[in-house]
Amino acid sequence: MTDKTTHANPNKNRTPRHRAREFALQGLYQWLLNNEPASMVVANIKSAHGFDKADNEYFTELLHGTIAQSVELREVVAPTVDRPIAELSPIEHAVLLLGAWELKNKIEIPYRVVINEAVELAKSFGGIDGHKYVNGVLDRLAGKLRPDEAAADARR
């Protein structure tokens, strides 16, 4: 396998922060499917090809934070989806949890950036139209978690 085939979208110019999100998505996917402890997931992901180009600190914060708050995040996401969370694809589930965690805990990141990053992850790793679903859910969620920011953006 060449270096270009190791990523879902090799032509993108990915920043270390975006790479951290990609690896966090992969770790969360692994955690959702295998129910492994977060420490084991982190160890597996950190040994992956290309991890050295990711923002290690942000990856760790994002993955551990999302796993630690997963029950609460699912409760926040549930009213914004059109089906039970258990019926979401594992990729959509993981992307929504990551996006919800960032919306809730990383106020310094504009909500539009959080949504855009989640949409890009869904485009790279998810199904054909999964990114559209992720966009709609996170947009509704931003209105709940960041009402002032979303309202100010809507007035522009």
- What pLDDT does 12 receive? 59
Nearest to 98 by CA among 90, 36, 151: 90
Q: Which one has a higher pLDDT value, 145 or 14?
A: 145
Between helix 90-105 and helix 70-77 the angle, nearest 10°, is: 100
How far apart CA 98 and CA 101 sit, in angstroms, is: 5
Structural domains of the chain sorted by starting position, each given as residue range(s) with its CATH number in brackets? 16-46+53-154 (1.10.940.10)
* Residue 127, pLDDT score: 87
pLDDT tens profile 50-102: 999 999 999 999 999 999 999 999 999 999 999 999 999 999 999 999 999 99
Task: For 38-50, write each residue's pLDDT tens digit.
Answer: 889 999 999 999 9
Cα 114–Cα 116–Cα 122 angle in degrees, nearest 5:
105
| Banded model confidence at residue 11, pLDDT cuts 50, 70, 90 | very low
pTM above 0.75, yes or no: yes
